[in-house]
Chain A
């Protein structure tokens, strides 16, 4: 049984009378011990999907099961004890840390709320997790604003891990970090995964990081999953035109390498109302794309793509 299984999830935001469907019928699973990468255009709903799965944003419809238990309809009170097992590393490392609490308080409160350990044990755990993410012990007495962007990101990671959850949704956990610390954090996440059997839903726009770290990758476009494949397949044989555009845009760390033009027209839009949402930017669109919405279609070997040209 998978640890997390999400079925036909929809999330809508209503702001000033306008409805935005940020997540539009997403289904996915994360097995115990598995790392699923989630990539996609900025604004396509990755963070919203992560927040909806953790019930930080209410789903409009669909089901979310954690270890078989349906949580899409649970009240916040019933959810509170379950939250210990599912945590999130937030995208904005500063905004997600209360500016008026010291790092020590930030890390200790979750343990206190979930009644874990005595005061002394909690302190020890805080110091332990700080050390694990590469921060000095005296960081506990300081406020978030006294740290650089990357250091704050590590505080966020420490907070998500301090409860020793089973599922961690990492929303861009290393994008604010320089390469050597990025390598340290990724190695750390790998080690924790091995030792605790953690599962990750790993949101990132850094494709080389996802390639290294994920077992399976989902590509999202405007609220939908458009391609899903295991990591090796996706890089060897990307099929959806959006995935191809995305891969072509990865900058190569070699100045002699010519910068490739992005294989995609136009820019992010709210998507056309009918047919394939990518069709206004798609280089290979056909007439059918304007009328019919492509469904995820299995190309074999768990490689699934939503595109009419690939059926």
Chain B
């Protein structure tokens, strides 16, 4: 059995007024791509921040453990963290504009990362930054090195972020919606790029996305979150063949692409009835208020994540009750 590169266990994160991530557990193995999907606002980004220990002010890790490469990141000293961040563990943020420094040329921002972690000289850092910019598909990188972030289109900023994140060949790259701002051809290029880096360097990728097409084509496994909890976890093939959690099923159903011929003049898109539940939901299954197969027991306690078949885990008592549940583990 392979040891996981990253093991998150029981991670619980709260803001002063509410807990937004509840007992999240998952693993990422070396060299694999794990996709993290879920409703907008379900805590994906907050989880990613917690892994880097870069939570927004006010947010606190209330419980849980994050073991990365032999280090418990929850209790690690700031020095250790600084060393890990950007070197073996790096993060691509969801908002390229706010995470780039608006008053520094982009090339300098990439070079800075390398100079800090690898202690290479100014000229060498510049050369490597230009190479990286070319690698992520910024043409004329020599000249664009000195451009400021606002000179770039949304998609180009995102590629700059990617260049910055892979600058030090990390072991795990957390990518928070890295291609949301990109068109499909560049999305394919960028994901292929991440894929080849992953293969060449044995880098693992935690890919946060809401594009199920991306999940299907580029991920090995998928973790579905809802309202701050993990509700399903499976390798992609069984997941797309038959998603088990009612929320995951609703998600696939709501997909515009799943019915290629649909047009707004002829058909309304399927929605999951109701609205985003809050992670502050106290009792019962967080999805219960919107669930089409709910039974009374769903309101009583939050269902645990159980393995239906090894590797395919679901947190739904209805699904678990109707299918054979082998012993966990």
Seen from chain A, the residues whose Cβ lies within 8 Å of a Cβ on chain B are 13, 15-16, 18, 35, 39-43, 47, 91-92, 94-95, 134, 145, 147-151, 172, 175-184, 186-187, 190, 205-209, 211-213, 231-232, 245-246, 249-257, 259, 262, 264, 267-270
Contacts and interface: CB of A to CB of B under 8 A. Distances in A.
Contact of A178 (B97, B137, B251): B251
Contact of A177 (B40, B153, B217): B40
Contacts of B215: 253
B295 to A, nearest CB: 22
A178 B35 CA distance: 14
B263 A175 contact: no
Interface in B256-270: 256-258, 260, 262-264, 268-270
Given A183-B271, A254-B216, 5 more contacts: A92-B154, A95-B95, A179-B251, A249-B187, A267-B189
B80 to A, nearest CB: 28
A249 B185 contact: yes
A256 B241 CA distance: 9
Chain A CB within 10 Å — which of B41, B211, B264 has the most?
A: B264
| Chain B, interface residues (CB within 8 Å), range | 35 or more
Nearest to B137: A267
B254 A182 contact: yes
A26 to B, nearest CB: 16
Contacts of A257: 216-217
A179 B254 contact: yes
Given A176-B40, A190-B268, A249-B188, A255 B216 contact: yes
Interface of B: 37-41, 45, 56, 94-95, 97-98, 137, 139-140, 143, 146-147, 151-156, 177, 180-189, 210-218, 236-237, 240, 250-252, 254-258, 260, 262-264, 268-272, 275-276
Contacts of B189: 262, 267
Contacts of A182: 210, 254, 256
Contacts of B264: 35, 186, 190, 212-213
A205 B183 contact: yes
B184 A249 contact: yes
Contact of A94 (B97, B216, B258): B97
A92 B95 contact: yes
B162 to A, nearest CB: 12
B39 to A, nearest CB: 5
Contact of A42 (B156, B218, B271): B156
A246 B185 contact: yes
A97 B16 CA distance: 24
A13 B213 CA distance: 35
B139 A269 contact: yes
Chain A CB within 10 Å — which of B155, B240, B251 has the most?
A: B155
Contacts of A246: 183-185
Contacts of A15: 147, 151
Nearest to A43: B153
Given A43-B153, A95-B95, A176-B177, A207 B184 contact: yes
Contacts of B182: 42, 205
Contact of B216 (A175, A178, A206, A252): A252
A253 B45 CA distance: 23
A211 B263 contact: yes
B186 A150 contact: no
B94 A149 contact: yes
B256 A178 contact: no
B288 to A, nearest CB: 16
A144 B313 CA distance: 35
